[in-house]
Amino acid sequence: MKKYSKQREIILESLRERKDHPTAEKLFMDLKKQMPELGIATVYRNLTELCEEGLITKVKSKKGPDRYDGNELPHIHFECKKCGDFIDIYLTETQIKQMHMSMKKLSTEVEAEYENSEIYLNGICKKCKKIAEKVV
């Protein structure tokens, strides 16, 4: 039977509150400030569990280690080719419906059973664009 743990609570809570997509290491460092006895293994263990329960999402990054996302609103990710950061892009009801319909249609072409889809947009984010402009 699943038991309560303060560690799991603050991990989930923190991921829901923050708007970035931290690595396990980053999250660990930040949480260690408010709970110094916290161990990195506990963070990894809980992140894996929370993903399995569908409460958070693991985001694969092109460059560095995996990122974790606690944003509960339906969204897709924009990954910056320069800094590697992720930005959430929110979709309207219509966009979501449209997307899922076309995805489902595509899936039938391989006779596979479609469940959901992940879309990663790639490009340069606002922040890096500004930096690039300044450097030039």
Partner DNA sequence: GTATCTGCAAATCATTTGCATTCTG
Partner DNA sequence: CAGAATGCAAATGATTTGCAGATAC
Stretches 6-14, 26-34, 37-45, 75-83: which one binds a copy of itself (CB under 8 A)? 75-83
Determine if residue 84 is left, alpha or beta; phi over 0 gives left, psi from -120 to 50 gives alpha, anything else beta. Answer: left
Kindly tell me which residue out of 35, 40, 83, 89 binds a copy of itself, with binding defined by CB under 8 A. Answer: 89
Binding status of residue 107 toward DNA by CB under 7 A: no
Collect all residues with Cβ–Cβ distance below 8 Å to 116 and sequence separation of at least 6.
100
Distance (Å, whole) CA 53 – CA 25? 21
Kindly tell me which residue out of 19, 33, 34, 37 binds DNA, with binding defined by CB under 7 A. Answer: 37
Binds 76: which of DNA, a copy of itself, none (CB < 5-8 Å by kind): a copy of itself
